[in-house]
């Protein structure tokens, strides 16, 4: 490998470089094999083991793989991929269930939520501009391949929710003073807003929520943990929406 190649790949651990080159990195044989079968455009595949069935892969030494890998334990396979561009039109927002993330900043949480969206058949995840980058290597790994099937959008979330409310789209959010999710009326379409790990949903986005929900503890009057992790809360909410 050339020094320039190594420097480029290493630089993709930083969002500015990913944005500048419109590239991201994925690691691991299973994930890269999934990407090979997807519609994403692969710029290059590097592997330190025999991949004779992947004629496009470039063989590198274990030492070189160690230098370009972004994992604590280097994988044997790494791909450099062009970032996809997605659009979400008003019709799609109105007719399907969509997740909106208000300032989710932990890469592991974001990756898990994208994976949950894939599991529950939610095609679009809308992120506020201060969310973690979905092409961060840690996020890509945490999605376990779901990043290939779920479209992630970054936008002014407050403005989008205001537009959705004006269109009559149900906007749900989780709050401590909300209605019990297990007895509340839920629709098959709408936008579910999940908030930041520490502060929850911002006041601006909360003002756009038309249906406030609460995930109760068990039993209802039990005093325990103050709140749920945002990824776990997302799993509970999505499960209940899809159960109806």
CA pair distance 15, 207, nearest whole angstrom: 31
Average pLDDT of span 190-214 = 96
Question: Does the predicted TM-score (pTM) go above 0.85?
Answer: yes
pLDDT at res. 92: 64
**Structural domains in the chain plus CATH codes:** 3-82 (3.30.1330.30), 90-243 (3.40.1280.10)
Q: Could you read off the pLDDT of 43-79 as tens digits, one per residue?
A: 999 999 988 889 999 999 999 999 999 999 999 999 9
pLDDT at res. 218: 87
Percent share of the chain, pLDDT over 70: 99
Taking 70 as the threshold, does the pLDDT of residue 240 lie above it?
yes
Taking 80 as the threshold, does the pLDDT of residue 93 lie above it?
no
Which 3-state string (H, E, C) describes 4-30? Answer: HHHHHHHHCCCHHHHHHHCEEEEECHH
CA pair distance 174, 237, nearest whole angstrom: 9
Average pLDDT of span 212-239 = 89
Q: Could you read off the pLDDT of 112-168 as tens digits, one per residue?
A: 999 999 999 999 999 999 999 999 999 999 999 999 999 999 999 999 999 999 999
CA pair distance 115, 140, nearest whole angstrom: 10
pLDDT at res. 88: 77
pLDDT at res. 11: 98
CA pair distance 71, 4, nearest whole angstrom: 20
CA pair distance 70, 67, nearest whole angstrom: 8
Other C-beta atoms lying within 10 Å of the C-beta of residue 184: 14
């Amino acid at each position: 490998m050339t020094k320039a190649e190594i420097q480029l790949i290493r630089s993709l651990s930083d969002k500015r470089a990913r944005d500048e080159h419109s590239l991201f990195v994925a690691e691991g044989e299973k994930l890269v094999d999934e990407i090979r079968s997807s519609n994403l455009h692969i710029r290059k595949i590097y592997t330190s083991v025999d991949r004779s069935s992947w004629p496009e892969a470039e063989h590198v030494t274990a030492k070189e793989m160690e230098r370009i890998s972004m994992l604590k334990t280097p994988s044997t396979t790494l791909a450099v991929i062009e970032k996809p561009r997605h659009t979400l039109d008003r019709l799609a927002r109105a007719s399907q269930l969509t997740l909106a993330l208000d300032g989710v900043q932990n890469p592991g949480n974001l990756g898990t939520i994208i994976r949950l969206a894939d599991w529950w058949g939610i095609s679009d995840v809308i992120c506020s501009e201060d969310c973690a980058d979905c092409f961060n290597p840690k996020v890509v790994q945490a999605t376990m391949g779901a990043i290939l099937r779920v479209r992630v959008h970054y936008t002014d979330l407050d403005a989008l929710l205001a537009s959705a409310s004006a269109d009559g789209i149900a906007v749900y959010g989780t709050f401590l003073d909300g209605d019990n999710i297990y007895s509340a009326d839920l629709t098959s379409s709408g936008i579910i807003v999940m908030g930041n790990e520490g502060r929850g949903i911002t006041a601006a986005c909360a003002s756009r929520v038309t249906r406030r929900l609460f995930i109760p503890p068990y039993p209802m009057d039990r005093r325990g943990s103050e709140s749920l992790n945002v990824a776990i809360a997302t799993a509970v909410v999505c499960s209940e929406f899809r159960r109806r």
